[in-house]
A and B are shown apart, each in its own frame.
Chain A
């Protein structure tokens, strides 16, 4: 009836019985060994009983596998009350014949042992319970209590061995819990009989922060994750963080998404970040990291994508209010259900627990963009090397799901850049650095891209200005000594340049006027000369005309003279007078 069973039958591989516990089935590649006993051990308060309850409840509700819960420590009523807060209604399951509960109490004070005995009573009860609901799963929590109630350990051990064999014969999947012993997995060495699968739960406190961890110590006939996996217990039960750093085969897209700041996109070839990449925005306090994250968030929501914002410093209301002051209104995104905030203090629990919570939130909300603001606060919740490995796991997990992650990182002044991010910089695809630029008695913000894998990007420092219009990136001004000028210095420089510009314009105008004047003078000169030439011509003409006139006059005179002399006006008249004049 179960897929696991079918697939098991098809091949020689082990049949698996899914637990339904978030993450655990991934670590164990499908669940616990079907039809065999599994030991869950750990110290007091590590969540053994809850693990067992969830195994039974999920079996009954999700996999249609009724179960038997045999408790040796708590009465059925107590147990039902204890797990009700986790949303498990045991009474209802009992009513629906999905669950049989039996509380086995062995009170040493009222028991005397005389002679030989066996545990057939337990067998009978278990058998009866299994038959009454046709159980496929059985929990024995914590069977070692029998050792406290009965003194003949030789009989007990023999009987337990027989019990597990009998349960195997019955074909039920059994989960046995055991209290951790001194140097052994369980106090009474139950692991000796339950050798198929052993899961250890742990509850460790480091720097006053506790973290629950789970480890599959052994799983006969199956591969399994061997790491310690953090897990949490919350109102939905247990969830294990199955992220591993084993695979490095996540897909890579060429899709680009906007950073929400136009000029920042421009700095990255005009297209923004790669989808599914991990982006780190680091800088000292007050450099506008959260604002950049908010712009990115807003851009994602405007594209209609879901965004999950993990805040470790501000409450959601505070983030929304503060971002409104720079013209980024996140409230409508929240209203539309595209943006979800998850804020908590980093000291609330250990690093692993934080990551498990984040993992759970991501699984639930299925965002395409995740913001962690700031990731450095996680470091205060863990030990340096743990932080690195855990962040690595988280990033692998996010990348595997093609979730674009923007993390902000607070660096303190004077830190080496590398140190301030828990050494995760090598895992980062795009690293944007926001920096204070202090000149001229001012602090201003500068932004540059430290690295951006797989794309051409600007190497320039841009001035990064927050105003009520949003985020703006302005051009860089370089001062005389090559320093970036920002703020008033930039304005001054701009004014200076403007003034210089104006001055040169005036000069051109002046030169132009001068040239014009010169041309005009020349033109006047030309006109004068032309007039002179004309006058000369006129004079010449005049002289010529006078000359002609004189000639004509002369002839007339001669004619008149000739007439007066009554000279013959003969043909040689022309020569005549000349001759005659010579005469």
Chain B
């Protein structure tokens, strides 16, 4: 029911992304209905993307209650799950993404390593909850 805004594109603000301008973050957020967790997750995701990936991302929210067969395709077990289809390698982040720095690290990892280090002042301490 919450097929949320699909394509939120914006112009890159900082000069750094120019290194990898062609990168497109294809993100899928799997949820099951509008649960507090899923709402929180979407909010967190949007904020992170807006802060780090201006204009380079594409979020698809998939409500498994409506499309249960989609769960099989991306091997979804836990909810909410954020799947980073692109850039490779594929990454899954489960949970409400409330640990922002951790999420950010994973979300950006492998894509723009240089930026990851800069924009995550908290470092790796948020890991392994």
Contact = CB atoms under 8 A, between A and B. Distances in A.
Interface of A: 102, 104-107, 110-125, 127-128, 146, 149-152
Contacts of A124: 32, 64-65, 68, 71, 76, 79
Interface stretch (B16-24, B53-61, B98-106, B114-122): B98-106
B72 interface: yes
B92 A110 contact: yes
A207 B27 CA distance: 58
A110 B74 CA distance: 12
Given A104-B77, A121-B79, A128-B68, A112 B37 contact: no
B89 to A, nearest CB: 7
Q: Is the interface of B mostly helix, strand, loop or mixed?
A: loop
Interface string B41-83: 1000000000000000000000011001101100111111100
B32 A120 contact: yes
A116 B77 CA distance: 14
B96 A106 contact: no
B124 to A, nearest CB: 12
Given A121-B77, A124-B64, A150-B78, A115 B92 contact: no
Contacts, number: 104
B102 A114 contact: yes
A104 B96 contact: no
Contacts of A146: 77
Nearest to B31: A120
B76 A114 contact: no
B96 A117 contact: yes
A110 B79 contact: no
16 contacts: A105-B75, A106-B75, A111-B93, A114-B102, A115-B96, A115-B98, A117-B81, A119-B79, A121-B64, A122-B77, A124-B64, A124-B65, A124-B79, A125-B71, A125-B77, A128-B71
Interface residues of B, number: 36
Given A115-B40, A120-B79, A146-B77, 5 more contacts: A110-B90, A112-B103, A124-B71, A128-B68, A150-B78
B89 A110 contact: yes
Contacts of B126: 114
Contacts of B77: 104, 106, 119, 121-122, 125, 146, 149-150
Contact of A113 (B37, B40, B76, B95): B95
Closest A-B pairs by Cβ, 4 of them: A115-B98, A128-B68, A115-B95, A121-B76
Nearest to A152: B129
Contacts of A128: 68-69, 71
A524 to B, nearest CB: 131
Most chain B CB neighbours (cut-off 10 Å) among A111, A112, A114, A125: A114
A152 B77 CA distance: 14
Contacts of A152: 129
Contacts of A120: 32, 35, 64, 78-79
A103 B128 CA distance: 27
Contact of B91 (A110, A118, A151): A110
A102 B72 CA distance: 7
B51 to A, nearest CB: 16
Nearest to B80: A117
Contact of A116 (B37, B75, B76): B37
Most chain B CB neighbours (cut-off 10 Å) among A116, A122, A123: A116
A114 to B, nearest CB: 4
B105 to A, nearest CB: 9
Nearest to B33: A120
B25 interface: no
Given A127-B68, A128-B71, A114 B32 contact: no
Given A124-B64, A124-B65, A117 B94 contact: yes
A353 to B, nearest CB: 39
B72 to A, nearest CB: 6
Nearest to A146: B77
B64 A116 contact: no
Given A121-B79, A124-B32, A114 B71 contact: no
Quick one: which of A105, A123, A124, A128 has the most chain B CB within 10 A? A124
B29 interface: no
B108 interface: no
Contacts of B129: 113-115, 152
Contacts of A121: 30, 32, 64, 71, 76-79, 81
B93 A125 contact: no
A115 B97 contact: yes
B35 to A, nearest CB: 8
A107 B95 CA distance: 15
B110 to A, nearest CB: 11
Contacts of B79: 117-121, 124
A127 B94 CA distance: 21
Contacts of A112: 91-94, 102-103, 106
Nearest to A122: B77
Nearest to B32: A120
A111 B92 contact: yes
B95 A116 contact: yes
Contacts of A149: 77
Most B CB within 10 A of own CB, among A110, A121, A128, A151: A121
Nearest to A121: B76
Nearest to B92: A111
Nearest to B127: A112
A114 B92 contact: no
A207 to B, nearest CB: 44
A112 B77 CA distance: 13
A115 B35 CA distance: 14
Contacts of B106: 112, 114
Contacts of B90: 110
A399 B38 CA distance: 66
A78 to B, nearest CB: 16
Contacts of B32: 120-121, 123-124
A128 to B, nearest CB: 4
